[in-house]
Amino acid sequence: GDSVTQMEGPVTLSEEAFLTINCTYTATGYPSLFWYVQYPGEGLQLLLKATKADDKGSNKGFEATYRKETTSFHLEKGSVQVSDSAVYFCALRTGGGSNYKLTFGKGTLLTVNP
Amino acid sequence: DAGITQSPRHKVTETGTPVTLRCHQTENHRYMYWYRQDPGHGLRLIHYSYGVKDTDKGEVSDGYSVSRSKTEDFLLTLESATSSQTSVYFCATQGEGNQPQHFGDGTRLSIL
């Protein structure tokens, strides 16, 4: 079945450091890929997405490129801020019609210190 | 973001009691989902709906039932709550086509 593996963390960085959170997947067909972010006490918010191979999703300085050859969708940001502290989830979606379902990784807790 | 309201936001109850969580959306989205979030597991799908009165099971559906009598409301029921169902529950909705899912703010449920 479909699965998502992401680095479990926690990840602790200093402000302005470079961030990479690794995400790899196993899926049948051609999934769409997503990164969601969850701030403390809140629900998940879509951060970025990519729907086909070589697509790059970007938002708020975060980027991820859909790599079909390595089945990866790593999240990167060049300079993190304290406000980026949150849990980040990688997810994939296959299917269509009545069968749209997301499969999530276990989440990576990011803490950014001033 | 999609107008999704979950109620209640917090609930404490006792083992063996019935519990119903409500998800209400104002976006007229066709698809609705219930997830639970537990440490070390990420989010796991409980049940989902692909239209009024059309529902199906997710990966952790045992002990849960759902109903969707109108587009805007999706109810999750624990018929007889157990301590293993202590969790944070999230509702999500999705529109047609390749649209992303949007999430509510969650319900924190504690079963003593």
Q: Which tokens go with B33?
A: 């989902």
Task: Please check the confidence at residue A98 and state whether its pLDDT lies above 80.
Answer: no
Best A33, A48, A66, A101 residue to mutate vs chain B (most B CBs within 10 Å): A101
Percent of chain A having pLDDT more than 90? 82
Chain A positions touching B98 (Cβ under 8 A) are: 32, 51
Nearest Cα to Cα of residue A37 among A97, A98, A112:
A112
What phi and psi, each to the nearest 5 degrees, are found at residue B71? -55, -40
Cα maximum dimension of chain B: 41
What is the pLDDT at residue B2?
Answer: 58
pLDDT, one tens digit per residue, over B29-41 is 999 999 999 988 8
- Say how many C-beta atoms besides its own lie within 10 A of residue B28's C-beta: 10
Task: Please check the confidence at residue A109 and state whether its pLDDT lies above 90.
Answer: yes
pLDDT, one tens digit per residue, over B54-82 is 999 999 999 999 999 999 999 999 999 99
**Can you tell me the mean pLDDT for A44-68?**
96
| Residue A53 DSSP SS3 | coil
Interface of B with A in 4-23 (CB under 8 A): 4
Task: Please check the confidence at residue A99 and state whether its pLDDT lies above 80.
Answer: no
The alpha-carbon gap from B81 to the nearest alpha carbon of chain A, in Å, equals 23
Task: Please check the confidence at residue A105 and state whether its pLDDT lies above 70.
Answer: yes
User: Could you say which of B90, B98, B103 has the minimum Cβ distance to residue A32?
Assistant: B98
- Burial A23-44, CB ≥16 within 10 A → b, else e: bbbebeeebbbbbbbbeeeebb
Going by pLDDT thresholds of 50, 70 and 90, the confidence category of residue B51 is very high
